[in-house]
């Protein structure tokens, strides 16, 4: 009788070890869909939004709005209203370089290497052109409505108060 009890206990342990348990890829509930892995955000997606320049070699108040592939650059050098420059931008994800062109066809003075802080609230633009020295540090910040409403729209990017980028 003891022998039979030992054989039964061994048999139960053996079958318990062979039972398949759901792994990380097998949901406990087969009707529940498996969540896809999180997609990593591209650099272009990280910089979309409105930014305020907080550090620059130029004495100016600068805001930039990046959306889709267009930008609005508001800058105030000295007294008076902000000037608005519009155009398009593109980014090379591999080299982490942003370039732009104003609506009048004039290119930015340089391409810029872009770095974004871990919390995505700070962006640094460093010129890739050796002749352009200024570095710009931006903080994610909404462009004030009075800046947008009272700006002077510039058609030519080569006018007085040339844009900083």
pLDDT tens figures, 118-151: 999 999 999 998 777 788 999 999 999 999 999 9
- Phi/psi at 104 (5° precision): -85, 5
Task: State pTM to two decimals.
Answer: 0.74
pLDDT tens figures, 2-39: 555 545 555 555 555 555 555 555 556 666 677 777 78
Q: Which fold has domain 45-153?
A: Lipocalin (2.40.128)
Q: Of 47, 48, 77, 49, which is closest to residue 62 (Cα–Cα)?
A: 77
Would you say 126 and 113 are in contact if contact means Cβ atoms under 8 Å apart?
yes
pLDDT tens figures, 39-66: 889 999 999 999 999 998 888 999 999 9
- Phi/psi at 149 (5° precision): -75, -30
Longest dimension (CA), the chain: 104
Element (H, E) at 146: helix 145-149
pLDDT at 46: 97
Enter the tokens of residue 89. 């931008």
């Amino acid at each position: 009788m003891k022998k039979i009890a030992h054989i039964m206990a061994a048999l139960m342990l053996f079958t318990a070890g062979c039972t398949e348990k759901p792994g990380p890829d097998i949901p406990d509930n087969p009707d529940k869909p498996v969540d896809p892995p999180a997609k990593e955000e591209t650099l272009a997606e990280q910089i979309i939004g409105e930014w305020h320049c907080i550090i620059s070699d130029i004495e100016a108040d600068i805001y930039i709005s990046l959306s889709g592939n267009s930008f609005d650059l508001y800058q105030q050098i000295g007294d008076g209203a902000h000037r608005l420059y519009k155009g398009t931008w593109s980014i090379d994800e591999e080299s982490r370089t942003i370039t732009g062109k104003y609506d009048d066809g004039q290119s930015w003075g340089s391409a810029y290497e872009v770095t974004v802080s871990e919390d995505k609230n700070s962006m640094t633009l460093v010129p890739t052109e050796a002749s352009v020295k200024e570095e710009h540090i931006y903080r994610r910040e909404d462009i004030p409505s009075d800046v947008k409403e009272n700006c002077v729209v510039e058609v030519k990017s080569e006018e007085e108060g040339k844009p900083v980028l």
